[in-house]
Amino acid sequence: MHETWFLFRHFWRADVRAQHSIAGLVLFAIATVYAAYQVVQGRPEPETWNALAWIILLFTAFNGVSRTLEEDRSEVLAYLRTTVQPLHFMLARTLHNVVVLTGLACLVVFFMGLLLGWAKLDGMRIAGFVGGMALTAVALGTTLTLLALIAARAGAGFGMTAVLGLPLVLPVVLVSTTLGSELMSGVLLADTWHNFAFLGALAAGSGVFGAVLFPYLWRAS
């Protein structure tokens, strides 16, 4: 775990040094929410609000994880491949992307509520929706990070991540939108636990699959 923590700090310090990286993601998320506000011109219907929130998070996730491709082609990676274990590298990269995407998910929800209102969400349902967005960010982060690492190892571009990623993230999107719809229709937070459990299972499954597959890709490259 020491190597994982070291690599996580390395990735985070790299983001801090390249301030445009995180700032660009934040600006992208805010600008997308504002564009949706300009199109809707007011308070949208709950179904529209729910769809916009998840669509914005999905595109923000793809945009955020695409940075992995550029960073993992650098000369630093050639050095890391000789000094760290592949599992630690994958865990650190996944953890880094999950932290970034979770923060962006909370940012998206905040600006959605600020500009477009909270639809029919109130009290604990807002907390449940934020929790669902955060858990969705974890599921997207684990899945897309693995695909981005595979694309980087294959020398492919972002197109490969997008093509492979859309079918794999579809279950996550379907469960997430169902969760949002149930919360907005008045379903109690306690009665939506199965959606949270399914999102957690998808995230865990992607993590286990990556832990098994990535070391082979690492050694083969």
Nearest to 27 by CA among 60, 52, 3: 60
Predicted local distance difference test score (pLDDT) of residue 157 = 62
Q: Report whether 164 contacts 143 (CB < 8 A).
A: no
- How far from each other are the two terminal CA atoms of the chain, in whole angstroms? 24
Q: Report whether 136 contacts 199 (CB < 8 A).
A: yes
d(CA 50, CA 28): 19
Predicted local distance difference test score (pLDDT) of residue 17 = 75
> pLDDT tens across 178-207, in order?
998 998 888 888 888 999 999 889 888 888
User: Mean pLDDT throughout 147-170?
Assistant: 73
Predicted local distance difference test score (pLDDT) of residue 6 = 83
Predicted local distance difference test score (pLDDT) of residue 197 = 92
Query: Which residue type is seen at 82?
Result: T
d(CA 72, CA 87): 15
How many CA within 13 A on the CB side of residue 12? 13
d(CA 86, CA 209): 14
| 215, two tokens | 């070391």
- In this prediction, residue 156 has a pLDDT band, given cuts at 50, 70 and 90, of low
Please count the other Cβ atoms lying within 10 Å of the Cβ belonging to residue 198.
Answer: 19
Percent of the chain with pLDDT over 90: 11
Token pair 């979770």 is at which residue?
Answer: 102
Q: Is the pLDDT of residue 44 over 90?
A: no
Q: Is the pLDDT of residue 97 over 70?
A: yes
Q: Is the pLDDT of residue 219 over 70?
A: no
Percent of the chain with pLDDT over 70: 87
Q: Report whether 167 contacts 136 (CB < 8 A).
A: no
d(CA 154, CA 158): 11
Please count the other Cβ atoms lying within 10 Å of the Cβ belonging to residue 161.
Answer: 24
d(CA 220, CA 81): 11
Q: Is the pLDDT of residue 71 over 60?
A: no
Q: Is the pLDDT of residue 73 over 60?
A: no
d(CA 61, CA 100): 9
Higher-confidence residue of 110 and 214: namely 110
User: Mean pLDDT throughout 33-60?
Assistant: 88
The whole-chain average pLDDT of the chain stands at 82
Predicted local distance difference test score (pLDDT) of residue 77 = 67
**Whole-number Cα distances in Å, 102 to 94, 142, 213:** 12, 12, 25
d(CA 92, CA 3): 8
Instruction: Kindly report the pTM of this predicted structure.
Output: 0.86
Q: Is the pLDDT of residue 74 over 70?
A: no
